A and B are shown apart, each in its own frame.
Chain A
Amino acid sequence: MKGNLVTFLRKDFRLCVSGKFFLLALGSLILYSSYINLVYVKLDQEIFPVYRYDPGKVQGECAAGVTDVGSLEELEAACEDGYSVGLHITGDPGSGRKPEIMMVSCGVESLDHIREAYARALLFPEDREDGPKRDSRDALGQAGIIGTNTREMKSRREITAEFLFFELAAVGFLGLASMLFKEKQMGVIRVHAVIPVSRVLFILSKLVLILLSDLLFAALLTVINLGMKEGLRVLPGVLMQAGILSLVMALIGFLCAVVLPDFKQFSLIYLVLAVFITTPVFLVVQTGVEMDWMRFHPMYHLFTAMKNAYFQISSAQGIYYGVCAAAVVLLFMAAQWGLDREMKKEG
């Protein structure tokens, strides 16, 4: 049995190599890591830029975050984007002419309000960040910080979880299926139907190979993008979730590939899976949009568990692991049934 498994593993490994399975995984690893490090961690939403036109030099130096412009036209042009705010300092406070806050509405009333309030804080010198403070109560406030992540670390955890989920759910699924379709085309299943080898081993060797390669991929992706220290800290939890997801998706991929007659029909299922099943999950978890039916969506729980593992939130309960184990066993039995059926068909 043990020797057989090793033989199977060797055969499947060669199949993966010839099918460029590992090359694809390596390509994905480089692509995802480059995107995370070069683009995603730099994404930020800056506070509204504030421009000031102060012809009489009534106010002193520019406060942090305020840019001086030379003319009223320049000020108006700078505000045209519906995001920036302009300060027009018209004269001495005693002259009776009031300073002016000008902006183009961004179309959202509440956002316009807060832009006005923010610009106002910069309009009056004593309230500026670097301006003289009247007493301690006037000091610029600092919100209490209750989280443990910086913006960059949060982005890294978030996007790494998403890419890993996508890779395991979509690409891994496709990988196993393409491997099996190749074997089908080559007549391997027909040969297996007549030689005395265990069908369980046939499935098991593929599962073990996919699982190991997925775990390696998960570990590399995590360590590269979260850094060695943080990466190793979250790794046990992440590997646990990656293992569950990998087994579930590989078994579904196996079942579909063995039951469906050709790759074209399989790609249909794949399209449905990618577009209609995974998209709502991403939408809910990414934007916080509430959809009540989402808790009945199995992928939602898998994705949430993966994300929580990256944020080290222990939300996965015993019942979750129980359901996952039951799902894996059921899917394994279904895959076995599918393989038996296919072998009978092949004669």
Chain B
Amino acid sequence: MNWTGLKYQLKALRRDKLCVLTFLLPILAGIAVNLMGDMDFSAMAEPSFGIVRDGLTGEMEDWLRTNGTVEIYDSREELEEAVKEPATQTVGVLAKDGEMKTIRSGDEFTMYAKIADRLPRLYEQREMTAQYDLKVLPAGGGSDIMKPLLTVIVMITAMFMGCTFNAMNILSEKEDGIEYVNEILPMTRGQYVRQKIAVGFVGGTVSTVITALICMRIAAAQILPLLLLVVLSAFVAALAGLFIARFSGGLMVGIVYIKIIMILFLAPPILFYMLVPADSVWYGVSYLFPSGATFYGLMGLMDGRTDMVREVAALAGHGAVWSAVYVMMGRRHRKKVQEG
């Protein structure tokens, strides 16, 4: 490895505002997620009831508060507006002749619609608790899924942003004509590729490690699995950067490719994680995305797991396969040039 060369490459990256911003973006997002630490995302899942000021008896209001969040409106019109608001799932609660009545907009999720329909009956039955036993077991894992999910999304972004550094680096060199200078320098093709991988790898790893320090809280036994995930993912990202630089003619196309790759790396694992059960075939298929393995690994770490064999093996496999593909493509290209 030519260390002086690498030093100059990294120096060039530092001057590139887009790369600096790319480097800082996940770190800033990590800080934001961390600051949101005390925000209660679960409030979004609670039923939300809207009432008119002094419209319900005190008992009704107290009972509603034990079953969800209660928002008070000054008039019936305001309440109806809030119920109809498409962004929320608010159920309107009124009292008529001492009985509870509900209104809903008709466009809510099934859960809120059924709760609204049955609410008056549930209220009437509130005293029946003596007729049955209630057994509530404590929550198994963290109930708040949003924060780990956001943290993992930020981490994945940091890891796979690595492709931006070397792709932009190679593409700027292409545009400035340095590519031709490189051809006559005493540097083999292998040295060149290693140097470019190192640029993406170092950028991605450093950015991810800083982000991890900011927003991940893990046990000592999980540090090694996390490091393995970070290193392997950053390596795969650096490889992706090489592919992007190879296939795009100019900076503009390169930026579009980077955006597409980032969407492809981020969206499928989240969708698979949310929609597909962990023992299905499709879940296995999702390991075909390099970010899939990283995503599941990081979610596992957030859940307290330390065993990352499957994820690390999948990432190592990706690294090996994509390196081989890149080398083979390079050989074929050289052969064509020599023949031509």
Which residues on A are within 8 Å of B, measured CB to CB? 44-48, 79-80, 82, 98-114, 116-118, 120-121, 123-124, 127, 138, 140-151, 153-154, 157-158, 178, 181, 262-265, 267-268, 271, 275, 285-288, 307, 311
Smallest CB–CB gap between A226 and chain B, Å? 14
Confirm or deny: B317 has a beta carbon within 8 angstroms of a beta carbon on chain A. no
Q: Is the CB of A101 within 8 A of B140?
A: no
Confirm or deny: B110 has a beta carbon within 8 angstroms of a beta carbon on chain A. yes
Confirm or deny: B42 has a beta carbon within 8 angstroms of a beta carbon on chain A. yes
Known: A47-B111, A47-B114, A144-B101. 13 other contacts (CB 8 A): A82-B143, A105-B138, A107-B142, A111-B47, A117-B125, A120-B128, A141-B119, A145-B103, A145-B106, A146-B103, A148-B106, A150-B107, A288-B87
Range of interface residues on B (Cβ < 8 Å): 35 or more
Q: How far is the CA of A140 from the CA of B109 in the complex (A)?
A: 19
Confirm or deny: B247 has a beta carbon within 8 angstroms of a beta carbon on chain A. no
The answer to whether A117 and B122 touch (CB under 8 A), given A149-B106, A149-B107, A264-B18, is yes
The answer to whether A44 and B42 touch (CB under 8 A), given A98-B132, A105-B137, is no
Q: How far is the CA of A343 from the CA of B113 in the complex (A)?
A: 61
Smallest CB–CB gap between B144 and chain A, Å? 7
Confirm or deny: B115 has a beta carbon within 8 angstroms of a beta carbon on chain A. yes
Chain B, 138-154, CB within 8 A of any chain A CB = 138-140, 142-144
Q: Is the CB of B143 within 8 A of A141?
A: no
Q: How far is the CA of A151 from the CA of B106 in the complex (A)?
A: 7
Residues of the A chain whose Cβ atoms lie less than 8 Å from the Cβ of B115: 47, 114, 118
Q: How far is the CA of A117 from the CA of B106 in the complex (A)?
A: 22
Q: Is the CB of B143 within 8 A of A107?
A: yes
Among B64-72, B181-189, B306-314, B325-333, the one that faces the other chain is: B64-72
Q: Is the CB of B121 within 8 A of A127?
A: yes
A122 and chain B: residue at smallest CB distance: B118
- Could you write out 21 A-B pairs with CB less than 8 Å apart? A46-B109, A82-B143, A98-B131, A99-B131, A103-B136, A110-B46, A110-B66, A112-B136, A114-B122, A118-B114, A120-B125, A127-B121, A141-B118, A142-B117, A143-B113, A145-B105, A146-B80, A150-B106, A154-B86, A181-B252, A286-B87
Q: How far is the CA of A151 from the CA of B86 in the complex (A)?
A: 10
Closest A-B pairs by Cβ, 3 of them: A107-B143, A147-B105, A154-B107
Q: Is the CB of A44 within 8 A of B110?
A: yes
Q: Is the CB of A107 within 8 A of B122?
A: no
A100: contacting residue among B69, B112, B119, B135, CB under 8 A: B135
Smallest CB–CB gap between B21 and chain A, Å? 6
Residues of the B chain whose Cβ atoms lie less than 8 Å from the Cβ of A48: 111
Smallest CB–CB gap between A23 and chain B, Å? 13
Q: Is the CB of A268 within 8 A of B67?
A: no
Confirm or deny: B55 has a beta carbon within 8 angstroms of a beta carbon on chain A. no
Residues of the A chain whose Cβ atoms lie less than 8 Å from the Cβ of B140: 80, 82, 104
Q: Is the CB of A123 within 8 A of B132?
A: yes
A107 and chain B: residue at smallest CB distance: B143
Residues of the A chain whose Cβ atoms lie less than 8 Å from the Cβ of B105: 145-147, 149
Chain B, 236-255, CB within 8 A of any chain A CB = 251-252, 255
Q: Is the CB of B67 within 8 A of A146?
A: no
A158: contacting residue among B68, B86, B122, CB under 8 A: B86
Q: Is the CB of A151 within 8 A of B135?
A: no
Residues of the B chain whose Cβ atoms lie less than 8 Å from the Cβ of A102: 134-137
The answer to whether A46 and B86 touch (CB under 8 A), given A110-B69, A113-B67, A117-B67, is no
Q: How far is the CA of A114 from the CA of B140 in the complex (A)?
A: 19
Interface 1/0 per residue, B85-119 and A, CB below 8 Å = 11110011000000001111111111111111111
Confirm or deny: B35 has a beta carbon within 8 angstroms of a beta carbon on chain A. no
Q: Is the CB of B109 within 8 A of A44?
A: yes
Q: Is the CB of A311 within 8 A of B46?
A: no
Q: Is the CB of A146 within 8 A of B21?
A: no
Q: How far is the CA of A151 from the CA of B92 in the complex (A)?
A: 17
Residues of the B chain whose Cβ atoms lie less than 8 Å from the Cβ of A288: 85, 87-88
Q: Is the CB of A146 within 8 A of B114?
A: no
Q: How far is the CA of A46 from the CA of B86 in the complex (A)?
A: 18
* Residue from the set B106, B112, B125, B139 with the largest chain A CB neighbour count within 10 Å: B106
Residues of the B chain whose Cβ atoms lie less than 8 Å from the Cβ of A117: 67, 122, 125-126
* Residue from the set A142, A145, A153, A262 with the largest chain B CB neighbour count within 10 Å: A145
